Amino acid sequence: MQQTRERRPVIEVRGLKKQYKLGQIGGGTLTHDLQSWWARVRGKEDPNTVIGTDARLFGQTFMALNGVDLTVYQGEALGIIGRNGAGKSTLLKILSRITAPTEGEIRLRGRVASMLEVGTGFNNEMTGRENIYMNGAILGMTKAEVDAKLDQIIEFSECGEFIDTPVKRYSSGMFVKLAFAVAAHLDSEIMVMDEVLAVGDMKFQQKCLGKMSDVAGQEGRTVLYVSHNMSTIRQLCTRCVVLDKGRVIFDGDVEQAIAVYMETTDVNVVHYDLKDVSRMTGSAGKRLRLETLDFVDKESSVFADTEPMRVRITWRVSEPFSGVNLKLNLHFRDSTPVGITHPVDLGPAEPGRLYTTEFTFDPSLLGEGQYFFYVDVFDGALAQAVCLDKPVTEFAFEVTNSDLSMPEWASGWGRIHFPPVRLLSTRAEG
Residue 341: strand, helix, or coil: coil
Q: Is the pLDDT of residue 396 over 60?
A: yes
Are 288 and 321 contacting, i.e. CB atoms less than 8 angstroms apart? Answer: yes
Q: Please give the average per-residue pLDDT across 354-374, as a whole number.
A: 89
357 forms bridges with which residues in the sheet?
Answer: 313
Q: Please give the average per-residue pLDDT across 70-77, as a whole number.
A: 91
Q: Please give the average per-residue pLDDT across 37-63, as a whole number.
A: 61
| The predicted structure's pLDDT at residue 198 | 59
**d(Cα 347, Cα 150) in Å, to the nearest integer?**
50
Are 238 and 225 contacting, i.e. CB atoms less than 8 angstroms apart? Answer: no
Q: Which helix (H) or strand (E) holds 418?
A: none
Q: Please give the average per-residue pLDDT across 346-364, as a whole number.
A: 90
**d(Cα 189, Cα 111) in Å, to the nearest integer?**
5
| The predicted structure's pLDDT at residue 382 | 60
Higher-confidence residue of 121 and 361: namely: 361
Q: Is the pLDDT of residue 356 over 90?
A: yes
pLDDT tier for residue 3 given thresholds of 50, 70 and 90: very low
Residue 323: strand, helix, or coil: strand
| The predicted structure's pLDDT at residue 314 | 94
Q: Is the pLDDT of residue 225 over 80?
A: yes
User: DSSP string covering 69-123, please?
Assistant: EEEEETT-EEEEE-STTSSHHHHHHHHTTSS--SEEEEEE-S-EEEE-STTTT--
Q: What string of H, E and C letters represents the secondary structure of 145-214? A: HHHHHHHHHHHHHCCHHHCCCEHHHCCHHHHHHHHHHHHHHCCCCEEEECCCHHHCCHHHHHHHHHHHHH
| The predicted structure's pLDDT at residue 295 | 94
Are 189 and 109 contacting, i.e. CB atoms less than 8 angstroms apart? Answer: yes
pLDDT tier for residue 239 given thresholds of 50, 70 and 90: very high
Pick from 59-63, 284-288, 370-374: least confident: 59-63
Q: Which helix (H) or strand (E) holds 363?
A: none
| The predicted structure's pLDDT at residue 326 | 92
Are 324 and 347 contacting, i.e. CB atoms less than 8 angstroms apart? Answer: yes
Domains of the chain: 8-47+54-263 (3.40.50.300), 271-405 (2.70.50.60)
pLDDT digits (tens, 9 = 90+) for 129-184: 998 888 888 777 788 888 888 998 899 888 888 899 998 888 777 887 888 888 78
Are 214 and 54 contacting, i.e. CB atoms less than 8 angstroms apart? Answer: no
Q: Which amino acid is at 392?
A: V
**d(Cα 306, Cα 214) in Å, to the nearest integer?**
48
Q: Is the pLDDT of residue 71 over 90?
A: yes
Closest-CA residue to 326 (of 306, 312, 337): 312
CA angle 298, 302, 308 (to 5 degrees): 70
DSSP state of 233: H
360 forms bridges with which residues in the sheet?
Answer: 310
Percentage of the residues of the chain whose pLDDT score is greater than 70: 83
331 forms bridges with which residues in the sheet?
Answer: 337, 372
Q: Please give the average per-residue pLDDT across 394-417, as a whole number.
A: 72
pLDDT digits (tens, 9 = 90+) for 79-137: 998 877 788 888 988 888 888 888 899 999 888 877 776 566 788 888 989 988 888 88
Nearest-10 Cα torsion for 73, 79, 81, 84: 100
Q: Is the pLDDT of residue 24 over 60?
A: no
Higher-confidence residue of 274 and 422: namely: 274
pLDDT tier for residue 272 given thresholds of 50, 70 and 90: very high
Q: Is the pLDDT of residue 52 over 50?
A: no
Residues contacting 266, CB < 8 A, separation 6+: 83, 396
Q: Is the pLDDT of residue 9 over 80?
A: yes
Closest-CA residue to 228 (of 274, 175, 276, 264): 264
Q: What average pLDDT does the chain have?
A: 81
User: DSSP string covering 215-226, please?
Assistant: HHHTS--EEEEE
Q: Please give the average per-residue pLDDT across 210-226, as a whole number.
A: 83
